[in-house]
């Protein structure tokens, strides 16, 4: 059967039109396609500021990045896609200079009844995906980071913030309590007494205090420096063996769930297991030869 050149031109044109409408990884690969991602997201932006780094920016400026179920559907989708992407070694999550996320979208929940909230397991999806992401996640926090925004930041593996960031769990002022992990993760981060004071009064705490209390790993003078610092650290992590990075993240997280004795035993087993990897051989050989390792990620 002979296909005319005009028909082939038409088919090629159709393919070019249709391609940007979906998020694809390419045949036989798992590479995130940043150029097409913006066509399917309305509440977030996904970019690649450096090789191996995925940057997700919450993008509801008029609502100060208020969190909604629609936003979390997009965020969870992007996180899963990046986590599956073999070329992504670390992820940065940020908002705007004015607000990382100023809280939950109250319009979405103000009319809910107990039965509706309970039967639909309301906001469970907000905190179900991030804990299962194996790729390191850094939150670059600036501006208002309140309620669900604070809880979202606390889900990250590492928090960087600017000194003027404002963290808080003000739910008590609305007649409710934190519902996406705030009472649990904040207490583990800063201790019972301080967390109790903040949650019972709805009082905010600053980025400077977040650094002093161990909530944030680093505190920056400006929002721009904060985001750039997170990207730089993410790039450094992405330059390591993905096997050892994921193993390291796993054992650190296990320290929250296990007793010291069980945690030490678990760490040792994972440590022993890495001697079966190609990257252990590559890394130690490169060290002995004073060379930069070329990781296989195997």
Reading the block at residue 235, the tokens are 């790039």
Give Cβ neighbours of residue 223 (< 8 Å, ≥ 6 apart). 97, 142, 143, 162
Active site amino acids: 104, 148, 151, 171
Burial class (CB in 10 A: 0-12, 13-18, 19+), 24: middle
Give Cβ neighbours of residue 119 (< 8 Å, ≥ 6 apart). none
Q: How far apart are the first and last CA of the chain?
A: 47
Residue 219, classed as helix, strand or coil, is strand
The half-sphere exposure of 221 on its side-chain side, counting CA atoms within 13 A, is 0
Reading the block at residue 109, the tokens are 């929940």
CA separation for the pair 248, 253 (Å, rounded):
9
Note the Cα 223 to chain centre separation in Å: 18
Could you write out the three-class secondary structure of 103-172? CECHHHHCCCCHHHHHHCCCCHHHCCCHHHCCCCEEEEECEEEECHHHHHHHHCCEEEEECCCEEECHHH
108-111 contact pairs (CB < 8 A, 24+): 108/68, 108/69
């Amino acid at each position: 059967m002979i296909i005319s050149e005009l028909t082939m031109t038409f088919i090629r044109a159709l393919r070019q039109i249709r391609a940007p409408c979906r998020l694809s990884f390419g045949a036989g690969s798992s590479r995130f396609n940043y150029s097409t991602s913006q066509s399917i997201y309305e509440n977030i932006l996904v970019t690649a500021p450096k090789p191996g780094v995925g940057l997700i920016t919450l993008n509801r400026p008029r609502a100060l990045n208020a969190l909604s179920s629609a936003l979390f559907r997009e965020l969870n989708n992007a996180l899963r896609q990046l986590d599956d992407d073999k070329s992504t070694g670390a992820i940065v999550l940020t908002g705007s200079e004015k607000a990382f996320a100023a809280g939950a979208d109250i319009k979405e929940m103000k009319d809910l009844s107990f039965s509706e909230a309970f039967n639909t397991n309301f906001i469970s999806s907000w905190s179900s995906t991030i804990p299962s992401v194996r790729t390191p996640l850094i939150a670059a926090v600036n501006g208002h980071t309140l309620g669900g925004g604070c809880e979202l930041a606390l889900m990250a593996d590492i928090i960087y913030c600017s000194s003027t960031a404002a963290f808080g769990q003000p739910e008590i002022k609305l007649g409710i309590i934190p519902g996406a992990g705030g009472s649990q993760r904040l207490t583990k981060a800063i201790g019972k007494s301080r967390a109790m004071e903040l949650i019972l009064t709805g009082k905010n705490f600053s980025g400077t205090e977040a650094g002093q209390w161990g909530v944030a790993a680093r505190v920056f003078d400006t929002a721009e420096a904060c985001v750039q610092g997170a990207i730089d650290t993410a790039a450094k992590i992405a330059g390591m063996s993905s096997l050892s990075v994921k193993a390291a993240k796993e054992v650190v997280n296990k320290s929250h769930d296990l007793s010291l004795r069980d945690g030490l035993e678990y760490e040792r087993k994972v440590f022993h297991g890495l001697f079966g990897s190609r990257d252990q051989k590559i890394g130690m050989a490169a060290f002995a030869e004073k060379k930069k390792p070329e990781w296989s990620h195997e």
